[in-house]
């Protein structure tokens, strides 16, 4: 949705004007948040890939009865550690290749 569609939808709501203004301000802030999140994910691709794979593995492990939650948590922690290490390696490699 573009800006004008959002503003029109908010204006058509049957709520007080102050609530409409707050909704519009929230939309602006959320838009900036999403843009910054995408910029972070783009700048840290190695970490992002590891966390996405870890989330998929954690989802699969969570389906196991009794111990699935613990295994899913272990999978996420491991994915985060691997992602951080891969990102550090990629950053250091890039730093020393350009120097």
Residues 57-81 pLDDT 10s? 999 999 999 999 999 999 999 999 9
- The answer to whether residues 34 and 48 belong to one domain is no
Q: Which residue has the higher pLDDT, 8 or 62?
A: 62
- The answer to whether residues 36 and 50 belong to one domain is no
Q: Is pLDDT of 1 > 70?
A: no
State which residues form the domain around 70.
44-98
Would you state the torsion angle of the CA atoms of residues 82, 83, 84, 86, taken in this order, to the nearest 10 degrees?
80
Mean pLDDT, residues 79-94 taken together: 93
- The answer to whether residues 37 and 48 belong to one domain is no
- The answer to whether residues 79 and 33 belong to one domain is no
Cβ-based neighbour number of residue 79 at 10 Å: 21
Say whether pTM exceeds 0.85: no
How far apart are alpha carbons 39 and 48 in whole angstroms? 11
- State how many domains the chain has: 2
- The answer to whether residues 61 and 30 belong to one domain is no
Q: Is pLDDT of 34 > 80?
A: no
- The answer to whether residues 33 and 78 belong to one domain is no
Q: pLDDT at position 32, please?
A: 82
- The answer to whether residues 35 and 49 belong to one domain is no
Q: Is pLDDT of 98 > 80?
A: no
Q: Which residue has the tokens 């999403």?
A: 34
């Amino acid at each position: 949705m573009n800006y004008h569609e959002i503003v029109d939808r908010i204006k058509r709501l049957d709520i007080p004007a102050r609530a409409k203004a707050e909704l519009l301000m929230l939309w602006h802030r959320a838009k900036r948040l999403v843009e910054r999140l995408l910029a972070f994910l783009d700048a840290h691709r190695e970490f992002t890939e590891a966390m996405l794979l870890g989330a998929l593995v954690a989802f699969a492990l969570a389906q196991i009865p009794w111990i699935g939650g613990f295994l899913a948590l272990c999978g996420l922690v491991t994915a985060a550690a691997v992602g951080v290490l891969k990102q550090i390696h990629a950053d250091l490699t890039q730093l020393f290749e350009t120097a």
